[in-house]
Amino acid sequence: MEPIVVENISGLPKAAGDVLKEMGGSRVACFYGELGSGKTTLIQAICRELEVVDTVVSPTFSIVNEYKTSDGVPVYHFDFYRIKKLEEVYDLGYEEYFYSSRGYCFVEWPELIEEILPESSVVRFTIRALSDGKRVIELCDPCERRG
C-alpha cells in the first residue's frame, strides 16, 4: 500500500475508504501513533464510511465503545491508552470482541495489549502528524511501539 496522505479534514472520507479497502476481509484494525496524531479522528471517519448511526467519541475512559451501522453490524472502538495491566483487558472479555464473527474492532494504543491481539487477521496502521498539519497513514507490521 502506498502511504495515504491526508492534506486536511476534507481528505478524511477518502482516507477512511482507503483504510477499509486495505483491511480487506479483516475485522480488527490497530492504529499506532503519537498522542494527537489523529487516531480517533480517523476512526470517526471510518465509522461514517461504514454508516455508523451512533455518535462516535473517544473511549479513553470507558476503554470500549460499541456502535451500530445502519445495517445493524456492530463496531467496537477501543482506546487502551489508560490500561495499566493486561488483567483490565481480560476483565473486559476481550475475546468476545476480537474473536467474534461479526462486526469491526478499531483499536487505539494496541501496543499496550500486543501480546493478546489475534495472531492473524489484524491489520496494523501507523498515523504520523507532519509539521505542516498533514497526516500520513501507512500499513505497518511490525509497528513502532510506544516506549
For position 144, what pLDDT does the model report? Answer: 62
Residue 129 has pLDDT above 70, yes or no: yes
Beta bridge mates, 123: 29
Q: How confident is the model at residue 146 (pLDDT cuts 50, 70, 90)?
A: very low
- pLDDT, one tens digit per residue, over 91-126 is 888 888 888 778 899 999 999 999 888 877 899 999
**Pairing assessment for the beta strands 74-79 and 64-68 based on DSSP bridges:** antiparallel
- pLDDT tens readout for residues 36-81: 999 999 999 999 999 999 888 888 778 999 999 999 999 999 999 9
Structural domains present in the chain: 4-130 (3.40.50.300)
128 or 119: which carries more pLDDT confidence?
A: 128
Residues 6+ apart with CB under 8 A from 84: none
- Is the model's pTM score more than 0.85? yes
The contacts found for 128-136 with CB under 8 angstroms, 24 or more apart, are 128/33, 128/34, 128/37, 129/33, 129/34, 129/36, 129/37, 129/38, 133/8, 134/5, 134/6, 134/7, 134/8, 135/5, 135/6, 135/15, 135/37, 135/38, 135/42, 136/3, 136/4, 136/5, 136/6
pLDDT of 147 > 60? The answer is no
pLDDT, position 55? 87
3-class SS of residue 19: helix
Which pLDDT belongs to residue 25?
86
83 has a pLDDT exceeding 60 = yes
Q: Which residue has the higher pLDDT, 9 or 1?
A: 9
